Amino acid sequence: MIKYRLIFISALTVLLLDRIAKIAILASGNEFTKNLGIAFGIGHSVPGILFFLVALGLIGLIYLSKALDLKKQSNQIALGLILGGGISNILDRLFYGFVIDFIDIFSLSSFNLADVAVTFGSVILLVYFWRLPKMEERK
């Protein structure tokens, strides 16, 4: 049995949902945005370096996961969301040379399901680390 199965389940779920959504967008001929940068198109002028920075960020996240209490299901899910979203966007860069963004809200920014997952996972971990000193004080 996988000890931290929620990491695997949430990462695989995000990866599959995002890949299916992106394939459907491409197959349907609907409009999408080619994001050559990271979040909000930042760094679009150096796309080759971005692939390595994103990959390095995922490796760093795995390393930092040692500081997480992975007995907490919320931390497992958060880590899985970030890993699944990050891996899906890396696959876009490998397959297409850019990230496919297809959700557009008020023409402010385009993003995809992987971005949503990374954002939610990051918020969960930020709340965990913000509350950690308070939890330590109670002990």
pLDDT band (50, 70, 90) for residue 41: low
Q: Which residue has the higher pLDDT, 105 or 108?
A: 105
Please indicate whether residue 69 is annotated as part of the active site. no
Please indicate whether residue 104 is annotated as part of the active site. no
- Confidence (pLDDT) at 91: 93
* Of 18, 69, 104, 115, catalytic: 115
Partners of residue 33 on adjacent β-strands: 101
CB atoms within 10 A of CB 65: 18
- Alpha helices by DSSP H, listed for the chain, are 5-28, 47-64, 73-96, 113-138
* Residue range 55-73, pLDDT digits in tens: 787 788 777 777 788 889 9
Radius of gyration of the chain from its Cα atoms, rounded to whole angstroms:
16
- Confidence (pLDDT) at 130: 86
d(CA 139, CA 134): 9
d(CA 97, CA 125): 29
Q: What is the mean pLDDT of residues 100-105?
A: 90
